[in-house]
């Protein structure tokens, strides 16, 4: 029978309607419609959840609709809900439009009353199996719907004692009443024994689970809106705990830690799926534990699914008496390292570039560029017996920090600015705040699909699971491992790739993130964006890394280069001098001397040089700005002392010659805001062989960009400086978290000037973009500082900018962001 309300069956639902069906419901509908073996079921849409949360009660008509669907499920399965000959049991699962793994609630094995238990024992011939289901159901319902803590802890022994061939009714009575007593002592509540009441109770609990503290914390952390609501999936159960040839597992279509192709996952024979996810038993690799025929079917299906979804997937499955059922499919959470490899591999396997670039973010690229331990030191630590144990590497990264044993302390320590490694027997959703606070996480049990592993990967936090030799003693506040006892507060180090836990800290070195696969992917992104990205370098040794990162040119600054090569005193003394030729000649010599090796390293590339700047904030200490400009006020306007510009031009010209004359060099002067200045600069540049141009930092300069560009070979605009000027903030405040993080949190600014181009600045930049197209002989570009957000990159690309200069570490992230922007990702 068709219903018109808020439910739809896996067969009828539109898999594209993720907002309404949630990710889980949509995935199940898609798999069902592809002909995969999915236990039948239906989805209650997110609209019902929103209405429940708004009104505090089940929306009118929903209960009736649930009963109609129940009838359909009975017909589809040939089983009866709450009776025999073969009883229908259900799973009631939450599934939000945005993946929130493990954050909300599921009730399995629902529909067991005494009659159903007896019938099921008759159908399966196994009273102990049924007793296990009764205990599992009671515990899950008590926990999820009634909020009991750790229910059912005392009944495991009773289940073990049930004779498989014995009286199922008596077993049901024993288990149910033991569970009931325990629950009554704990909460004073009881689990309804009427299956229909159980079903409505579970549905309401899933609705409510949208607003639990842990779900809200997760959404806050990931920037997920709070008003989406969750869908509810009601589905016929299949039983991985039925027999030895049954079991359940989770498989990734590629390795989610490294990105390597090939099935990667875990299987636990004779278990229900929750046993795998809970991490309380350590499962086996699917490739070893599954029967060959089942493994082959799984492998083939995963390949097909990957192709139709255009992404690497995380698939939950259950095997019931050697028959494979699919229970969930979703995009796999993956480490940054895996994301990079996967996106590159998928692109080379023929996935459209726009889709492949959608699978890796600038932030992930930053992460694979992050620092790690010094290899030699790690080797010495292994030999010197600092290696305590090796678990399963779940999220790579190399971190040191002080050991903490619970999440509250982890958060307190992190709030106080300390770096911590959180050690737990196992993590649960209640540990989220500690996991966010920690630099690294290590658990004693669980596999690479356990809660700790999945959440750490989503957070990008270094994580090791299944460190089974580790004993965490929460009352003594100690960890015993490898024959040693560590106290809370002791320094430890964790390697999330190798799974190693060390005593003591390490110094960290910076590795290069360059892989051939990433290089190829970024090459495609650069091609798609049509942009040039110039990288900021200071020393000749920086050049190779910038080029390897995909820089199409280099930018540098005279004062930075002289400071980095030990000439700061000489430079300041020259500036403090009387301005006669002795001072500027010295500067020309220093520039020639130090730019020669830099230009030699740059080869035949473009090198943009910024002139000495005595106005900028940053120059205050570096160049003793106050002393210099007090004595020589003319140095605080851009072209106040033409001889200083001439000296830099002369030095650069000599450096070009001495380095072999291949680099294309231009000098840009900061804070120019008037076409007259630009024309004067052009005169200074004439005959030197060095291009010249303005480096705009003010709204006035931006407004004059067209006429300024007319007089130059290049034109740069520093976005941060213009944003700061428009906001009336010191430019350096746009490079740090505080004070702006706190200020924005108070709602004091409608736009974050660090990540978003303010509408007023957009207006200014539109004129600059106009200059870029109307004065083609002048190369117009934007200087971007600090981390460039995807959002800002997209805004600037859409305005027509195609030339950028960034800090060296931002080269790859920006190339990617611009490629994504160009393809509308
Ligand atoms: P989560 O969103 O946390 O992954 P799920 O709704 O997927 O939660 O359910 C948790 C576990 O319950 C899964 O691992 C799955 O294997 C198991 N499960 C869910 N539905 C069924 C079902 N119909 N039959 C058997 N097991 C199920
Ligand atoms: Mg699941």
Q: In what order do the strands lie in the sheet with 491-495?
A: 387-390, 500-503, 491-495, 398-404, 420-424, 440-443, 462-465, 392-395
Q: Is the CB of 108 under 6 A from ligand 1?
A: yes
Q: Locate the ligand 1 atom nearest the alpha carbon of residue 250 and give its number.
A: 14
Query: What's the rounded Cα separation, in Å, for the pair 517 and 664?
Result: 30
**Cα 773 to Cα 159, 435, 802, distances in angstroms:** 77, 49, 10
Average per-residue pLDDT for the chain: 91
- pLDDT tens, residue by residue, 345-374: 999 999 999 999 999 999 889 888 877 788
B/e letters for 350-381, b = 16+ CB within 10 Å, e = fewer, are: ebebebbbbbbbbbbbbbbbbebbeeebbeeb
Task: Tell me: pLDDT of 3 over 50.
Answer: no
How far lies 33's CA from each of 17, 43, 680, in Å? 14, 14, 71
| Alpha helices per DSSP H over 310-425 | 336-348, 353-357, 362-368, 375-383, 407-415
Give per-residue pLDDT as tens, 264-319: 999 999 999 888 777 778 899 999 999 999 999 999 999 999 999 999 999 999 99
Q: How far is the CA of 328 from the centre of ligand 1 (A)?
A: 8
| Three-class secondary structure of residue 133 per DSSP | helix
277 ligand 1 Cβ < 6 A: yes
Q: 320 in ligand 1 pocket by Cβ < 6 Å?
A: no
DSSP bridge partners of 387: 502
* Protein residue with its CA nearest to atom 19 in ligand 1: 91
| Ligand showing the shortest atom-to-Cα distance for residue 100 | 1
- Quick one: pLDDT at residue 278? 73
Each residue's pLDDT tens digit, 597-612 = 999 999 999 999 999 9
14-19 CB contacts, 8 Å cutoff, 24+ apart:
18/97, 19/46, 19/97, 19/228
Nearest atom of ligand 1 to the alpha carbon of 93: 6
Reduced to 3 states (helix: H, G, I; strand: E, B; else coil), residue 687 is coil
Provide the sign of the torsion angle of the four alpha carbons 488, 391, 312, 755, taken in this order.
positive
Distance of CA 512 to the CA centre of its chain: 20
Given this model, what pLDDT does residue 617 score? 66
How many angstroms does the Cα of residue 169 sit away from the middle of ligand 1?
A: 27
614 burial (CB, 10 Å; 0-12 / 13-18 / 19+) is buried
Two tokens at 29?
């509908």
At 803 the three-state DSSP class reads strand
Give the residue-averaged pLDDT of 674-700. Answer: 97
What does the angle CA 422 – CA 425 – CA 426 come to, to the nearest 5 degrees?
Answer: 85
Q: What is the mean pLDDT of residues 97-103?
A: 81
Which of ligand 1's atoms lies nearest the C-alpha of 103?
Answer: 3
**Distance from Cα 424 to the centre of ligand 1, integer Å:** 24
- Compute, in angstroms, the gap from residue 90 CA to the centroid of ligand 2: 15
Q: Which 8-state DSSP code applies to residue 825? A: -
Q: How confident is the model at residue 583 (pLDDT cuts 50, 70, 90)?
A: confident
Q: How confident is the model at residue 1 (pLDDT cuts 50, 70, 90)?
A: very low
DSSP 3-state assignment of 592? helix
Give residue 177 CA to ligand 1 midpoint distance, Å. 26
Output the pLDDT for position 44: 98
Query: In the prediction, which pLDDT does 582 show?
Result: 63
The Å distance, Cα 89 to ligand 1 centre, comes to 13
448 pocket-lining for ligand 1 (C-beta < 6 Å): no
Residue found by looking up tokens 């993130």 in the block? 513
For residue 471, pLDDT over 90 is answered with yes
* Residue pair 465/494 in contact by the 8 Å Cβ criterion: no
What pLDDT, on the 0 to 100 scale, is given for residue 146?
92
Best residue for ligand 1 mutational test, from 24, 91, 212, 317 (most atoms within 8 Å of Cβ): 91
Name residue, tokens 């809370």.
488
Bridge partner residues of 234 (DSSP)? 42, 92
- Ligand 2 centre and the CA of 105: distance in Å? 10
Q: Is the CB of 241 under 6 A from ligand 1?
A: no
Task: Tell which wins on pLDDT, 508 or 686.
Answer: 686
**Is residue 512 predicted with pLDDT exceeding 60?**
no
Check pocket membership of 133 for ligand 1, CB cut-off 6 A: no
Band the pLDDT of 680: cuts 50, 70, 90: very high
Q: Tell me: the pLDDT tens digits for 134-160?
A: 999 999 999 999 988 888 888 888 999
């Amino acid at each position: 029978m068709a219903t018109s309300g808020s439910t739809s069956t896996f067969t009828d639902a539109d898999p594209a309607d993720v907002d309404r069906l949630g990710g889980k419901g949509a995935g199940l509908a898609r798999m069902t419609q592809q002909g995969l073996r999915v236990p039948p079921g239906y989805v209650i849409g997110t609209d019902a959840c929103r209405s429940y949360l708004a009104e505090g009660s089940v929306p009118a008509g929903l209960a009736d609709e649930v009963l109609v669907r129940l009838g359909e499920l009975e017909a589809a399965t040939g089983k009866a809900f709450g009776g025999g000959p073969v009883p229908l049991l259900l799973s009631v699962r939450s599934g939000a439009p945005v993946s929130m793994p493990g954050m909300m609630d599921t009730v399995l094995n629902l529909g067991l009353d005494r009659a159903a238990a007896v019938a099921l024992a008759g159908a399966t011939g196994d009273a102990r199996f049924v007793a296990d289901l009764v205990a599992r159901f009671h515990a899950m319902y008590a926990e999820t719907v009634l909020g009991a803590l750790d229910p059912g802890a005392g009944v495991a022994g009773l289940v073990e004692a049930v004779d498989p061939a014995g009286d199922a009714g008596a077993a049901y009575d024993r288990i149910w009443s033991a569970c009931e007593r325990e629950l009554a002592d704990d909460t004073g509540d009881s689990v309804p024994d009427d299956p229909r009441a159980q079903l409505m109770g579970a549905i309401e609990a899933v609705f409510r689970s949208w607003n639990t503290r842990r779900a809200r914390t997760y959404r806050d952390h990931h920037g997920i809106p709070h008003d989406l609501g969750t869908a509810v999936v009601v589905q016929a159960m299949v039983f991985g705990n039925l027999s030895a040839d049954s079991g359940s597992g989770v498989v990734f279509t590629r390795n989610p830690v490294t990105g390597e192709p090939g099935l990667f996952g875990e299987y636990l024979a004779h278990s229900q799926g929750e046993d795998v996810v809970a991490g309380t038993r350590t499962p086996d690799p699917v490739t070893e534990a599954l029967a060959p025929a089942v493994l082959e079917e799984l492998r083939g299906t995963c390949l097909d699914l990957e192709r139709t979804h255009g992404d690497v997937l995380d698939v939950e499955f259950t095997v019931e008496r050697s028959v494979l059922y699919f229970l969930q499919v979703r995009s796999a959470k993956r480490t940054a390292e895996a994301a990079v490899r996967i996106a590159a591999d998928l692109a080379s396997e023929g996935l459209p570039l726009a889709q492949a670039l959608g699978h890796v973010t600038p932030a992930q690229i930053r992460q694979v560029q992050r620092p790690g331990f010094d290899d030699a030191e790690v080797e010495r630590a292994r030999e010197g017996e600092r290696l305590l144990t090796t678990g399963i590497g779940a999220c790579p990264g190399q971190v040191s920090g002080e050991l903490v044993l619970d999440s509250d302390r982890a958060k307190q320590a992190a709030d106080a600015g300390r770096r911590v490694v959180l050690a737990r027997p196992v993590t649960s959703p209640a540990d989220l705040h500690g996991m966010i606070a920690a630099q690294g996480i290590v658990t004693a049990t669980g596999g690479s699909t356990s809660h700790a592993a999945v959440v750490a990967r989503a957070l990008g936090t270094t994580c090791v699971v299944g460190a089974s030799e580790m004993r965490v003693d929460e009352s003594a506040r100690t960890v015993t491992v490898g024959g040693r006892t560590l106290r809370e507060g002791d320094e430890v180090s964790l390697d999330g790739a190798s799974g190693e836990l060390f005593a003591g800290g390490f110094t960290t070195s910076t590795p290069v993130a360059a892989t051939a696969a990433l290089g190829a992917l970024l090459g495609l992104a650069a091609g798609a964006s049509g942009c040039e990205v110039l990288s900021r370098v200071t020393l000749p040794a920086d050049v190779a890394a910038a080029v390897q990162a995909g820089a199409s040119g280099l930018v540098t600054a005279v004062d930075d280069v002289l400071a980095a090569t030990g000439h700061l005193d000489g430079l300041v003394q020259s500036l403090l001098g009387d301005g006669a030729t002795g001072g500027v000649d010295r500067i020309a010599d220093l520039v020639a001397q130090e730019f020669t090796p830099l230009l030699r390293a740059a080869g035949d590339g473009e090198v943009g040089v910024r002139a000495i700047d005595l106005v900028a904030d940053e120059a205050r200490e570096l160049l003793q700005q106050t002393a210099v400009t007090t004595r020589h006020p003319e140095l605080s306007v851009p072209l106040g002392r033409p001889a200083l510009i001439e000296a830099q031009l002369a030095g650069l010209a000599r450096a070009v010659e001495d380095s072999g004359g291949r680099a294309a060099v231009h000098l840009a002067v900061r804070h120019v805001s008037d076409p007259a200045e630009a024309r004067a600069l052009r005169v200074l540049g004439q005959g030197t062989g060095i291009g010249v141009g303005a480096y705009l930092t003010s709204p006035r300069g931006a407004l004059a960009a067209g006429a300024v560009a007319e007089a130059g070979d290049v034109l740069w605009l520093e976005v941060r400086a213009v944003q700061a000027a428009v906001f009336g903030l010191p430019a350096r405040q746009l490079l740090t978290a505080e004070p702006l993080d706190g200020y924005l949190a108070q709602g004091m600014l409608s736009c974050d000037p660090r990540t978003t181009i303010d509408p007023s600045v957009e207006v200014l930049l539109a004129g600059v973009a106009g200059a870029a197209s109307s004065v083609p002989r002048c190369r117009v570009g934007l200087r971007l500082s600090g981390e460039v957000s995807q959002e800002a990159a997209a805004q600037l690309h859409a305005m027509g900018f195609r030339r950028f200069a960034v800090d060296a570490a931002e080269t790859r992230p920006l190339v990617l962001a611009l490629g994504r922007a160009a393809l509308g990702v």
